[in-house]
Amino acid sequence: MNHQRSARARRGASLLEVLVAVAILLLTSLGLAHAFTSAGLASKVSERDSAARQSIEQMIDDLGSVPTSQLLSWNGALRDFGNHTASLAVRNVSTRLFLVEAVAIDDATGAVLATIATFRAAES
């Protein structure tokens, strides 16, 4: 009779060990799945922010060919880039100096994705 109990105890211990191993494997798998999901999301956010920055840099570059006498007419200009909108603010801060600010805003959330500010001197 003692022999039957020890055989059952060994089977129970084996079953318990299997359950613990499955629980550990499940938790590890969930952790890895979360890590990969987070990494993918971070990559998408980085790509979105990079595209937003490039779009406002392009807007600032486009102003390079605009004479300073016409810069103020660009104040409030908007350009749609699909998933975000870029806007320009141009201010005359002194007689011969302009402040140009470009902001990219996420169309879905309204969050500011990127901002660039630069000065431009009037031509002589």
Query: Going by C-beta distance under 8 Å and a sequence separation of 6 or more, which residues neighbour residue 18?
Result: none
First vs last C-alpha separation in the chain: 108
Interval 7-34: pLDDT, tens = 555 556 687 888 888 889 898 888 888 8
Interval 108-119: pLDDT, tens = 889 888 989 988
Confidence tier at 46 by pLDDT (50, 70, 90): confident
What's residue 4's pLDDT?
A: 60
pLDDT at 102 over 90: yes
Residue ranges of the domains in the chain? 2-121
In this structure, are residues 52 and 117 in contact, taking their beta carbons and an 8 Å threshold? no
3-state secondary structure the chain: CHHHHHHHHHHHHHHHHHHHHHHHHHHHHHHHHHHHHHHHHHHHHHHHHHHHHHHHHHHHHHHHHCCHHHHHHHCCCEEECCCEEEEEEEEEEECCEEEEEEEEEECCCCCEEEEEEEEEECCC
**What average pLDDT score do residues 55-73 get?**
88
**What average pLDDT score do residues 78-102 get?**
90
